[in-house]
Amino acid sequence: MDVQKHPWLYDYSGYGASTGKPSELNTYADIEAVYECLQTKYGVSQEDLILYGQSVGSGPTLHLAAKLPRLRGVVLHSGILSGLRVVCHVKCTLCFDIYKNVNKIRKVKCPTLVIHGTEDDVVNWKHGNGLWKLAKDPYEPLWIKGGGHCNLELYPDYIRHLCRFIYDMETITTKTLLTKIKPTLKLPKKSKSNTGTSCQCTNTCSCYCCIKIRLPKCPKARCPKFPSCFQPSCCLLNWKCRCCCPDLKLPNCPACLKCGCFKFYDLLKRGAVLEEKNLTALAGGPSIV
């Protein structure tokens, strides 16, 4: 059997041949297990799937459809807005409500076909009409005049309209489908660097262009006795002022060999040597040129 072209049916927990206890959460787990089986065991991708949910089954269908943005399509047959809305006409969603399709259908990004009977005495036609209006990508709905809750398959319009929907979904290419849903996806924004320019990094880049690299600043030398005299004009060009204290010590700066502080330190040492020799010459020693 070709899995790609045949419908897959399953029983909810506690129904049919399935064991377990029927509950809302278990129905969600059931449909997720079926999808995982199709994906891992048979290699079926979400782009090749059309989910079909009838009545209460619209709850698990929309639960899974809201998580799969690249689905081929969704069919809601006599679907419900929520469990509580079937019993009483409320406009707000309460915390104890079940199958809150009114919220989940807003997250479905694929084409959605809604089929409902106008004379449905179990789930009012307003449920189907409300789901169709809330769908992001609504397909042309099918309102079967005189149709009830469990007899829509007997109407010729049902088969005709459903076949047309399946054909239209088969002709939609993956590229066209992605183009349609791309504006609805929340893509991450490009980060900006400290300079205010947009980062132009690609996936192959490690984003180094977004990092502003700065060399560490070399600490300044201090003159403990004469803090205001440590100027180039005083200590480098005119050493006769004798303003720099003899116990002047420059801080160690082993990590900034390129910042020029060691060159500056060499100039100070040369100036100190020249000054010493000039003083010796003035005292009667040999002159130094």
Which positions are annotated as active-site residues?
55, 120, 149
Instruction: Report the 10 Å Cβ neighbour count for 160.
Output: 11
Can you tell me the distance from the alpha carbon of 16 to that of 9, in angstroms, rounded to the nearest whole number?
Answer: 11
Asked if 235 and 244 touch (Cβ cutoff 8 Å), the reply is yes
* Cα torsion angle, 180, 104, 60, 53, sign: negative
- Tokens 């449920």 correspond to 127
176, two tokens: 């066209």
Can you tell me the distance from the alpha carbon of 39 to that of 34, in angstroms, rounded to the nearest whole number?
Answer: 9
Torsion angle (degrees, nearest 10) of CA 255, 259, 265, 266: 110
Asked if 28 and 65 touch (Cβ cutoff 8 Å), the reply is no
Amino acid at 192: K
Q: Which residues contact 211 (CB under 8 A, 6 or more apart)?
A: 193
